[in-house]
């Protein structure tokens, strides 16, 4: 990922913009409810030899947040925990991830130490792992974009930076406690809300089968979004190939022995945008097997001439359910989705 300082700056800017865009859908939610509904999907992200348990506080106030952001936080923390456990060379170590929610009242010692407003109550979400842990020098840099302990091919180092960005935008705080060889606990303090949970929450969790095994090509120039979307789809059983622009995607398609069942592409990208990519592929792929995604609204893109009326479109930011639901709707048109 160390392509150049300019690329790093661009990615950092994208990362921040990615987070900012998501603030628009904040509503009152209960973290326990979101965790329970994501649990089976999160389990798919980790191998069977790692045990995942939840320890959710019965009396948990609500928080004001965007469901798609909570999903991203949970996915990134679970993926981080999974990788830390995989990297632990101690074969006797237990392989375990725990998701914990707790209520922290104003003045609690953790609130006083880590929160910006210690006179407020908070909801604390923690993800604990039995991975390799880290020393102070590693811990100091863990939330920086592009800081990664993984090999270049395995991750961008944007996962924890994404989490940090989202938490800060929601007026929360994140901290990590860890010792080498003893695992890590990532904890987020979220301002508690006394408001009732928004009933709408459940529409993101319609009872439909969201799994599949089709081949999907994912084209996205924002690496944080690319990583999130890729892990999401793999978690639901899909075979995923990624490209960071239309040019790379075209190259992959032309050199692929098997056709892709679906192309999911960002619309506005450098080098070759999503529209140009699809024009180059005319005759090779049906238009109804392309899903365009963009941070802009459909109406705006239509007006500006970026899109036609009859295309498949999903606006970013999207929740895990709206993303996977839309994909099944495209792949199963006969089911009337």
- Average pLDDT on 259-265 reads 93
**Could you check whether the bond before residue 317 is cis, i.e. omega within 30 degrees of 0?**
yes
- Average pLDDT on 73-90 reads 86
- In CATH, the architecture of 206-335 is 3-Layer(aba) Sandwich (3.40)
Tokens of residue 7, six digits: 């690329």
pLDDT at 223: 81
What does the pLDDT look like over 11-57, one tens digit per residue? 555 555 554 444 457 889 999 999 998 888 888 888 889 999 999 99
Q: How many angstroms separate the CA atoms of 323 and 101, rounded?
A: 26
List all residues 6 or more positions away from 147 whose beta carbon is below 8 Å from its beta carbon.
Answer: 141, 157, 160, 161
Q: How far apart are the first and last CA of the chain?
A: 39
Which of these, 292, 289, 302, 295, lies nearest to 330 by C-alpha position? 289
Strand pairing category for 96-104 and 173-178: unpaired
Question: What are the φ and ψ backbone dihedral angles of 208, each rounded to 5 degrees?
Answer: -130, 155
Domains 5-197 and 206-335 share a fold: no
What does the pLDDT look like over 266-310, one tens digit per residue? 988 888 888 888 888 877 777 678 999 987 777 877 777 777 777
pLDDT at 30: 93
Q: What DSSP element (H or E) covers 10? A: helix 5-21
What's CA 272's distance to the chain center, in Å? Answer: 25
Q: How many angstroms separate the CA atoms of 122 and 117, rounded?
A: 10
Tokens of residue 238, six digits: 């899909």
User: Do the Cβ atoms of 41 and 293 come closer than 8 Å?
Assistant: no
User: Do the Cβ atoms of 23 and 66 come closer than 8 Å?
Assistant: yes
pLDDT at 125: 97
In the CATH hierarchy, which fold is given to the domain comprising 5-197? Answer: Heat Shock Protein 90 (3.30.565)
pLDDT over 60 (residue 161): yes
Q: Where are the domains of the chain?
A: 5-197, 206-335
Provide the b/e sequence for 255-277 (b: ≥16 CB within 10 Å): eeeeebbbbbbbbebeebbbbeb
pLDDT over 70 (residue 166): yes
pLDDT at 175: 92
Tokens of residue 56, six digits: 């959710």
Of residues 125 and 83, more confidence is placed in 125
DSSP symbol at 223: H
Question: What are the φ and ψ backbone dihedral angles of 169, each rounded to 5 degrees?
Answer: -65, -25
What's CA 222's distance to the chain center, in Å? Answer: 12
């Amino acid at each position: 990922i160390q392509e150049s300082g300019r690329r790093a700056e661009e990615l950092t800017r994208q990362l921040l913009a990615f987070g900012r865009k998501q603030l628009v859908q904040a509503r009152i939610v209960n973290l326990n409810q979101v965790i329970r509904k994501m649990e089976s999907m999160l389990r798919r992200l980790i191998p069977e030899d790692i045990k995942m348990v939840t320890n959710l506080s019965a009396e948990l106030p609500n928080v004001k947040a965007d469901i798609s952001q909570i999903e991203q936080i949970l996915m990134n923390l679970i993926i981080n925990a999974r990788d830390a456990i995989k990297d632990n060379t101690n074969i006797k170590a237990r392989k375990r991830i725990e998701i914990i929610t707790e209520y922290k009242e104003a003045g609690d010692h953790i609130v006083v130490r880590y929160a910006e407003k210690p006179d407020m109550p908070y909801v604390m979400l923690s993800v604990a792992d039995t991975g390799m842990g880290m020393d102070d020098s590693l811990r100091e840099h863990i939330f920086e974009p592009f800081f990664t302990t993984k090999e270049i091919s395995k991750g961008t180092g944007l996962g924890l930076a994404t989490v940090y960005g989202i938490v800060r935008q929601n007026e929360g705080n994140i901290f990590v406690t860890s010792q080498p060889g003893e695992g890590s606990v990532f904890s987020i303090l979220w301002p508690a809300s006394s408001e009732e949970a928004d009933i709408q929450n459940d529409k993101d969790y319609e009872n439909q089968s969201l799994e599949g095994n089709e081949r999907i090509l994912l084209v996205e120039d924002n690496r944080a979004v690319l990583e999130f979307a890729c892990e999401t789809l793999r978690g639901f059983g899909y075979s995923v190939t990624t490209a960071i622009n239309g040019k790379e995607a075209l190259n992959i398609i032309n050199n692929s022995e098997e056709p892709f069942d679906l192309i999911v592409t960002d619309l506005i990208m450098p080098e070759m945008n999503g529209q140009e990519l699809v024009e180059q592929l005319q005759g090779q792929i049906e238009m109804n097997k392309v899903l365009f995604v963009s941070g802009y609204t459909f109406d705006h893109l239509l007006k500006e001439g970026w899109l036609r009326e009859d295309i498949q479109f999903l606006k970013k930011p999207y929740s895990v359910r709206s993303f996977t639901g839309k994909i099944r709707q495209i792949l199963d048109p006969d089911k009337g989705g």
